[in-house]
Structure 1
């Protein structure tokens, strides 16, 4: 019998997120000069920073290559940021080996086909409610929030609450 997401959450030590479609709504605005701009939810940022301050491993693995994305995560205290990931399993394997993390202790949130292989390897595969059907099929938890609309906050807050680490004691400032 498969475990429910509530049974897995107490064992989570690590969060890994895709960017486009998870931390953003998947829409990219392209300016006349070619610069691409994404919008991120400030509440997701608060949750990410809170998770870092609470001692969780937090990692970003994205196929995108925009360095402004890396800067945003650096402000939040996230140092494990992999951009330009064409095969996310490579970065996933590098990250878990570097930090000696067991896959069953990882929550991974993705929204589309490039996330599929990693999601099949982790303890708690999650996705936003507007993820691709193939991703929803393998997700143990589907957030009630869409990508870029608080789905990251949703899963982080749930894990931290289950582990009694969500109550503002970390003084994580909105950034």
Structure 2
């Protein structure tokens, strides 16, 4: 009998997120100069920062290469940021090898076909509510939130609560 997603959450030490469609709603605002602007959810950012501060590894693997995204994520304390990735499986394997991370300890959230193969390798594949049907089919957990609208906060908070770390972090943070 396979484990439920809540049972798997007990073993998660590492979060990996895609950007477009996960940390953003997948929309891009294009300026007259051709710059592509995205919006990110502040609550997702708070949860990622809380995860980093609580000792979890947080990694970003994205095909996009917007440097503004890198700056935003670095400001949250995330140092493992892989942008412009063409082979997410290869990047995942490099990252996991660098830190000796076991795939079963990884939660990966993706939303579309470029995430498919890497999601098949991890302990808990997750996706936003508005992910593509192919991604929903292989996800052990589908957030009730959409990409860019709190899906990242949802999975981080659930893992941290399952492991008894969410309230600990919250109670110690009074600013």
**TM-score normalized by the length of structure 1:** 0.97
Contact 1:54 1:170 in 2 (8 A): no
Q: Judging changes above 3 Å, is the alpha-carbon distance between structure 1 residues 74 and 170 closer, same or farther for their aligned structure 2 residues? A: farther
Q: Counterpart of 1:163?
A: 163
How far apart are residue 90 of structure 1 and its match? Answer: 1.3
How far apart are residue 170 of structure 1 and its match? Answer: 4.7
Q: Counterpart of 2:106?
A: 106
RMSD: 1.0
Structure 1's consecutive aligned runs of 4 or more residues displaced over 4 angstroms after TM superposition are: none
Distance 1:172 1:151 in 2: 24
Distance 2:138 2:2 in 1: 12
- Say how many residue pairs are matched: 173
How far apart are residue 3 of structure 1 and its match? Answer: 1.6
Q: Counterpart of 2:96?
A: 96
Deviation per CA, 1:98-136: give whole Å up to 9, x if none: 000000000000000000011000000000010000000
Q: Counterpart of 1:36?
A: 36
In structure 1, the gaps of 5 or more residues are none
Q: Counterpart of 2:87?
A: 87
Q: Counterpart of 1:18?
A: 18
In structure 2, the gaps of 5 or more residues are none
**TM-score normalized by the length of structure 2:** 0.97
Q: How does 1:61-76 map to 2 (within 5 A)?
A: 61-76=61-76
Q: Judging changes above 3 Å, is the alpha-carbon distance between structure 1 residues 151 and 46 closer, same or farther for their aligned structure 2 residues? A: same
